[in-house]
């Protein structure tokens, strides 16, 4: 970067709850550049040589840590924190897991499964399975400010941001978060090298990351909940050869999402040489869940878009 960061946040400066009682570890002026060095969502408990047996030894009290908080001078309740996401640099490997009891189809996939993926430079494809190449588009699943009250788990998102797992918050995007406490107190973590909308198995290609961003204060904006803008198209890296799409139709969106994903798993296992668990995890790292219809009562349509380019 041409601009020297005001602060560098090392990977050991993290916390494991969203809580306004946590004091800031650094304070910066509005307009400052901040650089983060982040562990993966498992807190460094997995390595490039890990096996599925290591999942049983995970300490879940160390999962989904976030680094920070960073206070911004002058931030107070009613303001908005503008976060310009400048650069994401994932490590050269990442992991994807199906963890018992976790994920959209946890009842169908009770056994643990782990896949280690070599991660190339952003924009290049990673070989997720033999002959299956997933483009690397890194971002962080966790970005948030101090919530209204706490402590709160880092697992669910809320009005303060947190674990939004929004794959379009990539380099060049701008995120806006409401401020609830003096200083705003930004924290972030959970680096993803690639993920589909929905992160259906519960994990993406999880990876350690270096992240650079710029913080600006917007006074008196009174934002009610997070919003963001993207610098351009959001799926061009995947839409070159179109999509196969399965749907879930009925009166419950959650059930519809489950049915759409199950339908794609069936399609992938029948057409391609992969197991059901491999298809499930592949959907998590590159397929997009979308609400196609939510006005024609009493039934709604949820669709899962699977990019055909990753298989061709």
The CATH number assigned to the domain holding 152 equals 2.60.120.580
Confidence of residue 73 (pLDDT cuts 50, 70, 90): very high
Q: How far apart are CA 260 and CA 56, in angstroms?
A: 29
Q: How confident is the model over 136-146, as a mean pLDDT?
A: 97
Is 207 inside a domain boundary?
A: yes
Q: How confident is the model over 246-254, as a mean pLDDT?
A: 98
Q: Do 253 and 223 fall into the same domain?
A: no
What is the domain range of residue 275? 243-310
Confidence of residue 236 (pLDDT cuts 50, 70, 90): confident
Q: Mean pLDDT of all residues in the chain?
A: 96
Q: Do 155 and 282 fall into the same domain?
A: no
Q: Specify the pLDDT at position 1.
A: 46
User: What's the structural domain count of the chain?
Assistant: 2
Q: What is the pTM of this model?
A: 0.95
Is 96 inside a domain boundary?
A: yes
Contact 294, 304 (CB under 8 A): no
Q: Do 146 and 117 fall into the same domain?
A: yes
Q: How confident is the model over 154-201, as pLDDT tens digits? A: 999 999 999 999 999 999 999 999 999 999 999 999 999 999 999 999
**What percent of the chain stands above pLDDT 90?**
95
Is 52 inside a domain boundary?
A: yes
Is 237 inside a domain boundary?
A: no
Q: How far apart are CA 91 and CA 209, in angstroms?
A: 6
Q: In which order are the strands placed within the sheet that holds 300-307?
A: 243-250, 300-307, 288-293
Q: Do 225 and 256 fall into the same domain?
A: no
CATH code: domain of residue 251: 3.10.28.20
Q: Do 160 and 291 fall into the same domain?
A: no
Last-in-domain residue among 229, 258, 291? 229
Is 123 inside a domain boundary?
A: yes
Is 9's pLDDT higher than 50?
Answer: yes
Q: Do 62 and 201 fall into the same domain?
A: yes
Q: How confident is the model over 188-230, as pLDDT tens digits? A: 999 999 999 999 999 999 999 999 999 999 999 999 999 999 9
Q: Which of 92, 6, 1, 101 is nearest to 58 (CA)?
A: 101
Confidence of residue 139 (pLDDT cuts 50, 70, 90): very high
Is 236 inside a domain boundary?
A: no
């Amino acid at each position: 970067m041409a601009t020297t960061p005001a602060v560098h946040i090392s990977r050991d400066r993290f916390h494991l709850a969203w809580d306004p009682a946590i004091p800031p570890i650094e304070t910066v002026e509005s307009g400052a550049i901040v650089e983060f060095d982040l562990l993966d969502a498992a807190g460094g408990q997995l390595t490039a040589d890990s096996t599925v047996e290591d999942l049983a030894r995970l300490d879940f009290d160390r999962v989904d840590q976030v680094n920070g908080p960073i206070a911004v001078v002058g931030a107070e309740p009613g303001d908005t924190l503008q976060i310009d996401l400048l650069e994401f640099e994932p490590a050269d490997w990442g992991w994807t897991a199906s963890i018992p009891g976790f994920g959209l189809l946890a009842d169908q996939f009770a056994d643990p499964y782990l896949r280690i993926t070599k991660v190339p430079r952003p924009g290049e494809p990673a070989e997720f399975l033999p002959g299956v190449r997933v483009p690397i588009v890194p971002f962080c699943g966790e970005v948030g400010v101090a919530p209204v009250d706490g402590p709160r788990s880092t697992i669910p998102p809320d009005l303060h941001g947190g674990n939004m797992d929004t794959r379009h918050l990539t380099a060049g995007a701008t995120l806006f978060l409401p401020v609830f406490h003096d200083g705003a107190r930004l924290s972030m973590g959970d680096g993803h090298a690639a993920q589909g909308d929905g992160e259906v198995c519960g994990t993406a290609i999880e990876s350690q990351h270096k992240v650079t961003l710029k913080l600006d204060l917007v006074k008196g904006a009174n934002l009610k909940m997070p919003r963001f803008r993207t610098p351009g198209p959001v799926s061009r890296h995947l839409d070159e050869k179109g999509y196969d799409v399965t749907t879930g139709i009925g009166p419950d969106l959650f059930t519809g999402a489950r049915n759409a994903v199950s339908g794609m798993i069936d399609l992938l296992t029948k057409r391609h040489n992969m197991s059901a668990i491999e298809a499930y995890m592949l959907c998590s790292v590159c397929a997009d869940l979308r609400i196609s219809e939510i006005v024609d009562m009493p039934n709604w349509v949820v669709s899962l878009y699977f990019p055909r380019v990753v298989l061709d």
